[in-house]
Amino acid sequence: LVLLLSLTTLLVVFRPFSPSLNDAGSQKTAINAFHGQSKGRLDNALKPLEWWDSKTNDKLDRKLFVSDGKGGCKWAKPHAVNVGEDTTTVRSLIVAYPGSGKRTAWMEFEGLTSLATGDDYDLSGNHLNVAFMKSSFPHHEGIWSWGDNFHQVLLLVRNPRHAMVAYHELLYEIDYSTDWVSTYARKDRIYTLRPPVEEWEHFRDQRFDEEIHWWAWYIDFWMEGGVYRDILTHQLANFSWWEQVVMPHGHTYPDLDTLVPPETPTRHFHCVLDIEDCTPVTVLSYENLKDPAKGPSEAEKFSNMLEGREGISMIEKKSRRCVWNELFVKYKGYRTDDNRKNAPGPLDDEYVFTLPQLEKMKSVMEFTAAKYKGGAWANNLNAQDLVGYVESYISDVQKEINRLKRGPQGP
308-343 tens-digit pLDDT: 788 887 777 777 778 777 777 776 666 777 777 778
62-78 residue pLDDT tens? 344 555 556 677 666 77
Interatomic CA distance for residues 64 and 53, integer angstroms: 13
Lateral strand order in the sheet of 59-60: 59-60, 51-53, 332-334
Give me the chain's average pLDDT, please.
79
pLDDT given for residue 105 in this prediction: 79
Q: Which is nearest to 6 in space by CA: 221, 196, 187?
A: 221
- DSSP three-state, residue 288: helix
Burial class (CB within 10 angstroms; exposed 0-12, middle 13-18, buried 19+) of 53: middle
The confidence band for 183, taking pLDDT boundaries of 50, 70 and 90, is: confident
* Residue bearing the bigger pLDDT, 255 or 17: 255
Q: What is the pLDDT of residues 223-263, one digit of tens each?
A: 999 999 888 888 888 888 888 888 776 677 888 888 888 88
CA dist 251 to 171, 243, 393, Å? Answer: 18, 12, 30
Whether residue 143 contacts residue 4, with contact meaning beta carbons closer than 8 Å, is answered with yes
